[in-house]
Amino acid sequence: MMLIPCPFCGKRNESEFIFGGPVVAARPDPNAVSDAEWVEYLTIAPNPLGPVQEKWWHARGCGEWLTIWRDTRTHDIVEAPNGSE
C-alpha cells in the first residue's frame, strides 16, 4: 500500500486516487514532426527507473489533481505536493 500525501486531506491510501500518468513533454504538432517521430510519440511509453514526476487524481477525496515525484523502484514518494508532507 502506498500513502499519497494530499495537500488538502493529508496522507491517504492510494486506493482513493486514480493514476493520471507521468508528466510528459507537450504533445508535438503532428504537422511539424516526421511520421517516424509522430508514431514514436503515439506508441512508445517511457518506463524509466528511478524518480518520475506523476499526476494523480484524488477521485475519492477532495477531487484535486496532484503532481508527485515517485521512485519507480521502491514506490517511495520522494517529493510531495506543496502544503503536504
67 vs 24: which has the higher pLDDT? 67
Domain ranges of the chain: 3-79
In this structure, the dihedral spanned by the alpha carbons of residues 27, 60, 58 and 75, taken in order and rounded to 10 degrees, is -100
CA 16 from chain center: how many Å? 15
All three cell numbers of 37, joined, read 517521430
Q: What's the confidence (pLDDT) of residue 80?
A: 75
CATH superfamily of 3-79: Folate-binding superfamily (3.30.2270.10)
pTM: 0.78
Mean pLDDT computed over 39-45 = 90
Which is nearest to 68 in space by CA: 59, 47, 3? 3
Q: Alpha-carbon distance 55 to 20, whole Å?
A: 5
- Span 60-74, pLDDT tens digits: 999 999 999 999 999
Q: How far is CA 16 from CA 10, 35, 37, 44, 59, in A?
A: 12, 39, 36, 28, 6
Mean pLDDT computed over 49-67 = 96
